[in-house]
Amino acid sequence: MTGKGKGQGTQARTGSFEHALVLETARVTEGAALAASRWVGMGDKNAVDGAGTEAMRELLNSLDIRGRVVIGEGEMDEAPMLYIGEELGQGQYEVDIAVDPVEGTSVTAKGLPNGLAVIALSERGGLMHAPDCYMDKLVVPPPAAGRVNLDWPVEANLSVLAQSLERDVEDLLVTILDRERHADLIRRVRQAGARVKLIGDGDVVASLAVGVRGTGVHALMGSGGAPEGVLSAAAMKCLGAEIQGRFIAEDDAMRERFVSMGVDEHKIYKTDELAPGSQIVFSATGITYGELLSGVRRFGGGARTHTLVMGYASRVVRFIDTVHLEDDGARVTIRV
């Protein structure tokens, strides 16, 4: 039997990682969501985040990967686990990892909608290592991909979006984080005739709602976290939607960090630059109830989860409804 060279073996392993890991990645976000759900409504966002992070780290270490965290809970000296640069797993597939074990720690701690566990995997170099800063963002659904521009006036982008979706501007609903810095943006969107959906937290799930048809949301605008922008880009690439982002330097120290990381604060980064990987797996599991994903629903001895998991190269999008029987002897009557 003819043996494979080193390069061939690496290529074969990389080429198959999506098929091997897509369902295992869903298991990771399910585990993080289940752990964090124990703290829903308890008012302790640190406990929520800690539970989700610990569960996600344990499950990632069980996968057949040699993973490196590029988007995580912070730098090594800021986070006890899932920090940027942390190595996870002892398996064969070399991957970069972007995580947000609990997106929306505050809303989850308060029992409010749209808390979720999120992860993206790619081949090495397939996810941008973004600085922990703000990013000005524009997210649009597949029909408008490639037709809008973050540099254009809000009104122009809304007009193009409406044309792409074959509707009037007045039919559009735009999600914006409810922050004082967005007061002028909110005013302009409303003056143009579009409606505004204000959210308190969680712009990854807001981006997902734009990329999936039927949610009633048509765009995301405004600034939010740059790491969340990379996670959103991984999802938008799988869905055929688009994110455009520009990194915001708030002071000279951040500008120096941009230079050290090769980030251009004047450039518009598009989906394929934020998530350049040829293979990407993205998974999100609801922790609290949301328009796109149901939250964890507990019953005696177990729980039910709702997950969206996608593979870019494998061209698969799955919504997974899972019943977890956690206690010995637990029984449940399955229903829709």
Q: Rounded mean pLDDT of 151-166?
A: 98
* pLDDT value of position 6: 39
Q: If pLDDT is split at 50, 70 and 90, which confidence band does 5 have?
A: very low
Q: If pLDDT is split at 50, 70 and 90, which confidence band does 335 have?
A: low
Q: Which fold would CATH assign to domain 134-274?
A: D-Maltodextrin-Binding Protein; domain 2 (3.40.190)
Which runs of consecutive H residues, i.e. helices, occur in 150-240? 154-164, 183-192, 203-211, 226-239
Average per-residue pLDDT in the chain? 91
Q: How far is CA 58 from CA 92, 222, 272, in A?
A: 17, 34, 30
* pLDDT value of position 274: 98
Whether the predicted pLDDT of 139 surpasses 80 = yes
* pLDDT value of position 330: 65
Greater model confidence, 191 or 326: 191
Whether the predicted pLDDT of 154 surpasses 90 = yes
281 closest CA partner among 68, 23, 10:
23
Q: If pLDDT is split at 50, 70 and 90, which confidence band does 270 have?
A: very high
Q: Any idea what the Cα angle at residue 139 is, between residues 244 and 229, rounded to 5°?
A: 60
Ordered by start, the domain boundaries in the chain are 17-124+280-325, 134-274
Q: Rounded mean pLDDT of 253-264?
A: 92
Q: Which of 51-55, 117-121, 152-156, 290-294 has the lowest mean pLDDT?
A: 290-294
Q: Which CATH number is correct for 17-124+280-325, 2.60.120.10, 3.40.50.150, 3.40.50.300, 3.30.540.10?
A: 3.30.540.10
Whether the predicted pLDDT of 77 surpasses 70 = no
Binding site feature residues for Mn(2+): 49, 73, 100, 103, 228
* pLDDT value of position 79: 67
Binding site feature residues for substrate: 103-105, 134, 179-181, 201-203, 225
The tokens of 175 are what?
Answer: 């999600």
196 closest CA partner among 170, 214, 215, 227:
170
| Helix, strand, coil in percent for the chain, rounding step 5 | 35, 25, 35
Q: How far is CA 250 from CA 150, 181, 230, 260, in A?
A: 19, 13, 19, 16
* pLDDT value of position 19: 86
Q: Rounded mean pLDDT of 101-121?
A: 96
Q: Rounded mean pLDDT of 111-136?
A: 95
Q: Rounded mean pLDDT of 200-212?
A: 94
Distance CA 101, CA 52 (A): 5
Query: pLDDT per residue over 8-43, tens digit each?
Result: 444 434 457 888 899 999 999 999 999 999 999 999
Q: Rounded mean pLDDT of 190-201?
A: 96
Q: Rounded mean pLDDT of 57-81?
A: 87
Q: Rounded mean pLDDT of 303-332?
A: 89
Q: Rounded mean pLDDT of 270-293?
A: 96
Binding site feature residues: 49, 73, 100, 103-105, 134, 179-181, 201-203, 225, 228
Distance CA 65, CA 60 (A): 8
